[in-house]
Amino acid sequence: MAEDPTELDNLPPQDEQASETESPLEMAKDAQISRMAGCAKLGGCLLKIMLVLALLVWAQRCIQTRREGGSVNVKCKTTMQDIMIATGHFHTEYKRFPLPMPVDEKVDTTLRSRGVWVAALLGLEDSLNPRKIKFVDLPEARDGKRGLLKEGTEQVLVDPWGEPYHVIMDTNADNSIANPEDATKVLDGKIFSYSSGPDRDPKTWEDNVCSWR
């Protein structure tokens, strides 16, 4: 007897039936989910790339800033050295420091890089430097920074951040100076200088640029 094709036993299981006969709507949903998953993966990749790029830019800027800061500090130290050497040459020439006031020979003298003693080093002052020797050549300041500028008739030498340098001279002639950074130590020598640094505050030593270190 021939099998009845309508018999239930001959029909495929319902699950297989469903998968084999997935509706267009469900297929579209599957495709959409697949696309969304792909987009999410791509978005994640892009985010990672952007983060890496941002880190690279940040690192590059840090390196650049450090390089520029180092370069500025080197220029600052070079100017301090110029002033110290010029003051030393003045001392050799005139057997005294280029100081206008009566000098207390019991203590050392601290002053800023401005006024008549700077003019004397430049050969622009008669009473301290009657031979008008030019002991140093200094550049003009730009935007009020790193170089010479005039305040009234006064010559002012400013650091890369616009502040006059601090200069200490061994006016008590013991060939040493109390370290302004650490009162328990002394610096061996006749002339030292320091800059207040980028924060323009001489009391914050972390950023100060010093001729002795």
Interface residues with Ca ion (CB under 5 A)? 108, 170, 172, 174, 196-197, 199, 201, 204, 207-208
Closest-CA residue to 181 (of 194, 170, 167): 194
Work out how close the CB of 61 gets to Ca ion at its nearest, in angstroms, rounded to a whole number: 23
Tokens coding 40: 């999410």
Cβ closest to Ca ion, residue 38 vs residue 69: 69
Closest-CA residue to 211 (of 117, 69, 81): 81
Number of H helices, E strands in the chain: 3, 8
The H or E element spanning position 170 is none
Work out how close the CB of 103 gets to Ca ion at its nearest, in angstroms, rounded to a whole number: 12
Cβ closest to Ca ion, residue 43 vs residue 144: 144
The H or E element spanning position 204 is none
C-alpha 44/C-alpha 150 separation (Å) is 59
Work out how close the CB of 203 gets to Ca ion at its nearest, in angstroms, rounded to a whole number: 7
C-alpha 45/C-alpha 184 separation (Å) is 58
Work out how close the CB of 38 gets to Ca ion at its nearest, in angstroms, rounded to a whole number: 56
Work out how close the CB of 187 gets to Ca ion at its nearest, in angstroms, rounded to a whole number: 9
Cβ closest to Ca ion, residue 82 vs residue 207: 207
- DSSP-assigned states of every residue in 14-73: HHHHHHHT--HHHHHHHHHHHHHHHHHHHHHHHHHHHHHHHHHHHHHHHHHHHHHHHHHH
Cβ closest to Ca ion, residue 108 vs residue 159: 108
Cβ closest to Ca ion, residue 125 vs residue 159: 159
